[in-house]
Amino acid sequence: MKVLSTSAVALLGTALAASPCVADALKTHRIPATLAVEAASEAVASCAKQNYRETAVVLDADGAIIAVMRGDGAGIHTIDSAHDKAYTAASFGRDTIALAERKSEIGDLMKLPHLMFFGGGVTIKIGDEVVGGIGASGAPGAKLDDACAHAGLAKIQGRLK
């Protein structure tokens, strides 16, 4: 009888101590594929007008690829570089050109895979929410890659809701 009452008390205590856990689903925004393609295309076109052979990659906030556009003549390495710039911008929630200025503070994080602290990665936001990143690579300089990525974002920014 003592075992039964001890078990009953333990069961009752567990039932009373465990509060019901109710949570709403997280509300997030996603970049539509059509807008991602437009942004990547505009980034590449913006650089092409300046005779730069550019690649642009658009990722969602989780780092998943939405769109990749490799411009005519862009080196194969620019695909990975653009991806990693977009990934870094989305992950840190800051443009990579700003992060590059703080390399000395970042230290060992630079050793993590897919992080690239060079200009050309731009955070995509809706309000304060990071929804992705666009990375551009192939122009002869980080500031030029950054400008091309910003051109891609500017093309779609007003339609992100």
pLDDT in tens, 32-58: 999 999 999 999 999 999 999 999 999
DSSP-based three-state secondary structure for 134: strand
98: CB partners within 8 A, 6+ apart: none
Higher pLDDT, 57 or 103: 57
Say how far apart CA 115 and CA 107 lie, in whole Å: 12
Average pLDDT of every residue of the chain: 90
Dihedral angle sign, alpha carbons of residues 126, 128, 133, 138: positive
Extents of the domains making up the chain: 29-159
Report the range of poorest mean pLDDT among 4-13, 82-91, 101-110, 147-156.
4-13
* Secondary structure, 3-state, 50-95: CCCCCEEEEEECCCCEEEEEECCCCCCHHHHHHHHHHHHHHHHCCC
Query: What architecture does CATH give domain 29-159?
Result: 2-Layer Sandwich (3.30)
Determine the pLDDT at residue 103: 76
Greatest pairwise CA separation for the chain in angstroms: 87
pLDDT in tens, 53-94: 999 999 999 999 999 999 999 999 999 999 999 999 999 999
